[in-house]
Chains A and B, each alone.
Chain A
Amino acid sequence: MSGHVTSLLPLAAAGALDPGEAFRVEAHLRECVVCRAEAAAWRDVAGELGRLPAPKPSRALVARTVEAVEERLAERAERAWNRAALGFLVAFAWTLAVLSWVVVDLVNGVLALRLERSVGSSAAWYAAYLGAGWLSAGAAAVLLGRRAREEGRIA
């Protein structure tokens, strides 16, 4: 009789042998009563493992989980919407800043024509306009920073 295959029997019971090993085990079991008994014991263990009591999630747990996921998805959707809205507003603000030069220059020219005297250089008016714009943008940046920090804590 060839050598025992004891070390292969746990994996044989688990159905985890490769074909060569499985063939070797089968051939050996046909002629070895000791290993056959050992294989039966391992099959018992494996059988019991497949029949262990199966814990299931309670309905309450499933409901809580669905609620938690929905909450998180809603937060994510809101953050995405906020980001898109803020992106649009920033782009819109920059567009206005560029176009406003033309408007300031035009208004300055019309005023000068109406009043029939100079009302100051367009550049000075535009600088004042931009200054006000930058102050607003600074305030917005502070608010955005705070919001980002809050979101960071949530995520």
Chain B
Amino acid sequence: MDPDRDDAGRLRRGDTSGLAGLMARHQDRLFRYLRRLLGDEAVAEDTFQQTWVQVAERIGRYDARRPFGPWLFAVARNLALDHLRRRRPESLDEGDEPMAAMGAEGDPLERAMESQRRARVAESVAGLAPLDREVLSLRFEEELALPQLALTLGVPVPTAKARLYRALSRLRERLLAAAPAEEWR
């Protein structure tokens, strides 16, 4: 039995224990995705909350024959893109100025080199355009295969592949600009 399907069924009947199950399984992935796509903690939190409210309201539209994850991410994605369009209607395809790296963990004195390198990658990712951050997050953090990635983005597989290629190329350009001496030459 698919636990997502069972919990979605409970939520459809108004039983909030279904929501608890769905959240327990998907909340971390969803928040990471929103944080990456939106690039802002507070906005990601608002969108996270709105996403679950919409999930509860629209659970009747969820087709239980399909996996829950992509549907959840599609709901979140629509909300996030709406927000980004309102904030910066000209383009979702242009990068920001690099932002502070997110939550680098551990003692920076211990693993200094590794932390520095990781922070540089995080900064470079944060400086990418929202759609570039999104595709990288879905592929490398959510580990979606190309067909699932395309499904989540709502585009054909070749388009998803092209976006992935473009995002990686832009990321490497930024990494090289930030630290030309490192090994991603």
Contacts and interface: CB of A to CB of B under 8 A. Distances in A.
Interface of A: 10-11, 13-16, 40-42, 44-46, 48-57, 61-62, 64-66, 68-70, 72-73, 76-77
B105 interface: yes
Given A10-B168, A61-B31, 14 more contacts: A10-B164, A10-B165, A14-B168, A16-B164, A41-B185, A49-B121, A52-B140, A53-B103, A55-B35, A55-B103, A56-B28, A57-B45, A73-B16, A76-B57
A20 to B, nearest CB: 14
Interface residues of B, number: 48
Nearest to A74: B14
Judged by DSSP, the binding face of A is helix
Interface string B34-71: 01000001001100110011011100000000000000
Interface of B: 14, 16, 19-20, 23, 27-28, 31-32, 35, 41, 44-45, 48-49, 52-53, 55-57, 101-105, 117-118, 121-122, 125, 136, 139-141, 143, 145-146, 161, 164-165, 168-169, 171-172, 175, 183-185
29 contacts: A10-B168, A11-B161, A11-B165, A41-B185, A42-B184, A44-B184, A48-B117, A49-B136, A52-B118, A52-B140, A53-B101, A53-B104, A53-B122, A54-B141, A55-B32, A55-B35, A57-B31, A62-B23, A62-B27, A64-B49, A65-B23, A66-B16, A68-B52, A69-B16, A69-B19, A69-B52, A69-B55, A73-B14, A76-B57
